[in-house]
């Protein structure tokens, strides 16, 4: 598609001009819903974009409920509860100068058919609906999400650190986590429109590692700008990524006899150490393409109880049907409390395989992926690694970037093959 990527429309905030937002509002109105909730994260451009979109949505017959600053999963939950559309203005984990629009419907990402309707309408001539909608300021709806998430809160004596990435979780996470402990350390919770994801949050986990060790915390949790990711840090300062968090949840459910068919869903980039640790327990890993939408589809198809990605998108039905960083963290805290185990103890059986992900800016993603010589090199490396490693080269769904992912049993092999493949990708562009 021209506009839609894997996570909606995303890019430099400058692409969201007044005219484009007007056309996008027309396109969204073609989905034939009377009511749409509109939320934003904390980047400065969101206010202007939301104003333009809301004006267009109202003009084309929709009632626009302005929810204000809210996490993506919170907005998703509210659209499910109120059976309506949702528009989330966010660029997720991207830098503050980017922005984007995610469209959700009744608790889920919109379908491919609905994406096609929006995509087609973006290229049509603007028409005005004869009946206008109205603007409803609905910031009180955030309390409904708070009540929903509060069901996962359990009081502990842990010292907990949370990194809010100066993003959307600033609206709910502090109050929720104060319910879990009297010893709470909060960082990156002063958004100013330009500091979202700025050397903080789940994509800059080194910040939280330092906070946890310096303050002698039992555990720490970092979220991204729109709150759909969670990465943890153990008391010893060890990073516990989304794969490991999903592993912890799967083991917990397995021990309770609640893991459907002893299966979980992971992305193809999952760590082999985690997959093998689950296999030893008799738990099968269903691997799917990168993207939380594919995790959700596998969960729906196989009626699974947990699925996740290394990046921190974790889905735990029936509690969540989308990645919710705050609820994931609250759930893991509950597991630590009920099992009386430290986070390090819950992952002690995992022998993590070294890995490296390199993002390479390219002019033509398709040209890179179609290169015969690159494909030959990848095939040969895979043959050498067999089931003791992974090579994945894929295009970004939202940027002009090719991602080179290498995983192997030793760091030396990771470095060797990563260097070879990155150099080859760069050569293709010359």
- Please list the active-site residues: 92
Q: What whole-number distance in Å separates Cα of residue 261 and Cα of residue 103?
A: 33
Determine how β-strand 314-315 pairs with β-strand 307-308: antiparallel
Element of type H or E holding 65: strand 63-69
Judge whether 181 and 154 are in contact, CB under 8 Å: no
* 33 within 8 A of 85, measured Cβ to Cβ: yes
Contact 133, 64 (CB under 8 A): yes
Going by C-alpha positions, the residue among 330, 326, 321 that lies closest to residue 76 is 321
- Residue 7 phi, psi (nearest 5): -120, 25
Q: DSSP class of residue 152? A: G
Rounded (10°) angle between helices 72-82 and 325-339: 100
The angle formed by the CA atoms of residues 265, 226 and 137, to the nearest 5 degrees, is 125
The CA–CA distances, whole Å, from 112 to 22, 104, 242, 291, 394 equal 22, 12, 26, 14, 21
Q: What letter would DSSP give residue 221?
A: E
Contact 181, 160 (CB under 8 A): yes
Nearest of 103, 127, 379, 347 to residue 249 by alpha carbon: 347
Determine the 3-state secondary structure of 183 from DSSP.
Answer: strand
The secondary structure of 237-278, three-state, reads CCEECHHHHHHHHHHHHHHCCCCHHHEEEEECCCCHHHHHHH
In degrees, rounded to 5, the angle at the alpha carbon of residue 327 between the alpha carbons of residues 322 and 329 is 120
209, burial (CB in 10 Å: exposed 0-12, middle 13-18, buried 19+): buried
Residue 86 DSSP label: E
């Amino acid at each position: 598609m021209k506009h839609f990527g894997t996570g909606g429309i995303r890019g430099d905030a400058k692409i969201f001009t007044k005219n484009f937002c007007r056309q996008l509002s027309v396109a969204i109105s073609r989905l034939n819903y009377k009511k749409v909730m509109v939320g934003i994260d904390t980047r400065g451009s969101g206010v202007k974009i939301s104003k333009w979109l809301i004006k267009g949505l109202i003009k084309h017959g929709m009632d626009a409920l302005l929810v204000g600053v809210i996490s993506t999963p919170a907005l998703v939950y509210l659209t499910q509860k109120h059976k309506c559309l949702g528009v989330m203005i966010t660029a997720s984990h991207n830098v503050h100068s980017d922005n984007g629009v995610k469209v959700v419907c009744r608790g889920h990402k919109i379908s491919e058919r609905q994406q096609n309707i929006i995509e087609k309408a973006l290229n049509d001539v603007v028409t005005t609906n004869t009946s206008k909608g109205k603007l409803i300021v609905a910031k009180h709806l955030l309390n409904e999400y708070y009540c929903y998430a509060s069901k996962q809160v359990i009081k502990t004596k842990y010292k907990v650190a949370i990194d809010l990435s100066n993003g959307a979780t600033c609206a709910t996470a502090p109050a929720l986590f104060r319910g879990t402990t009297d010893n709470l350390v909060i960082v990156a919770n002063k958004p100013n429109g330009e500091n979202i994801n700025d050397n903080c949050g789940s994509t800059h986990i080194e910040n939280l590692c330092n906070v946890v060790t310096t303050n002698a915390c039992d555990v720490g949790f970092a979220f991204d700008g729109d709150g759909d990711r969670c990465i943890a840090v153990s008391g010893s300062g060890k990073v516990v990524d989304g794969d490991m968090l999903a592993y912890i949840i799967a083991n917990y459910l397995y021990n309770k006899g609640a893991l459907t068919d002893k299966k979980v869903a992971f992305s193809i980039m999952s760590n082999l150490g985690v997959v093998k640790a689950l296999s030893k327990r008799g738990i099968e890993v269903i691997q799917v393409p990168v993207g939380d939408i594919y995790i959700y589809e596998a969960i729906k198809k196989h009626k699974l109880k947990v699925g996740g990605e290394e990046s921190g998108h974790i889905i735990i039905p029936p509690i969540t049907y989308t990645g919710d960083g705050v609820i994931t963290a609250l759930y893991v805290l509950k597991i630590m409390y009920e099992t009386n185990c430290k986070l390090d103890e819950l992952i002690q059986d995992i022998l993590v395989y070294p890995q490296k992900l390199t993002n390479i800016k390219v002019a033509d993603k398709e040209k890179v992926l179609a290169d015969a010589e690159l494909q030959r090199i990848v095939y040969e490396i895979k043959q050498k690694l067999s089931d003791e490693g992974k090579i994945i080269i894929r295009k970004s769904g939202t940027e002009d970037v090719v991602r080179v992912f290498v995983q192997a049993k030793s760091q030396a092999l990771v470095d060797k093959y990563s260097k070879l493949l990155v150099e080859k990708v760069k050569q293709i562009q010359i």
